[in-house]
Amino acid sequence: MRVLFSPLRSTLLVAAVVFAVVLNIMLVRNGGQPEWVGPLSVVPLLAFAGWTLATDYSQRRAERAKQD
């Protein structure tokens, strides 16, 4: 858990959420234009989720190897 909630990861998660909020506010204020801003706003969140899953998987695999 210490690896998944390190200060770097927490900072990157906050930055990804702020990025998504700012882009969505821009999208709403501009009447839905440009359309590509909506999908772009979730890219950092999806990247963070993928990184977290990959890290969790590698940590579990390392723990399993240590037990064997």
Position 32 in a domain? yes
Give the confidence band of 67 by pLDDT, cuts at 50, 70, 90. Answer: confident
pLDDT for the residue numbered 32: 86
Q: pTM for the complete prediction?
A: 0.77
Q: Count of domains in the chain?
A: 1
pLDDT tens figures, 14-59:
999 999 999 999 999 998 889 898 899 999 999 999 999 999 899 8
Non-local CB neighbours of 48 within 8 Å, separated by 6+ positions: 9, 12, 13, 16
Position 23 in a domain? yes
Sign of the dihedral through C-alpha 15, 20, 17, 53: negative
Tell me, rounded to whole angstroms, the distance of Cα 53 from its chain centroid: 10
Residue ranges making up the domain that contains 56: 7-67
Position 1 in a domain? no
Q: Under DSSP, is residue 47 helix (H, G, I), strand (E, B) or coil?
A: helix
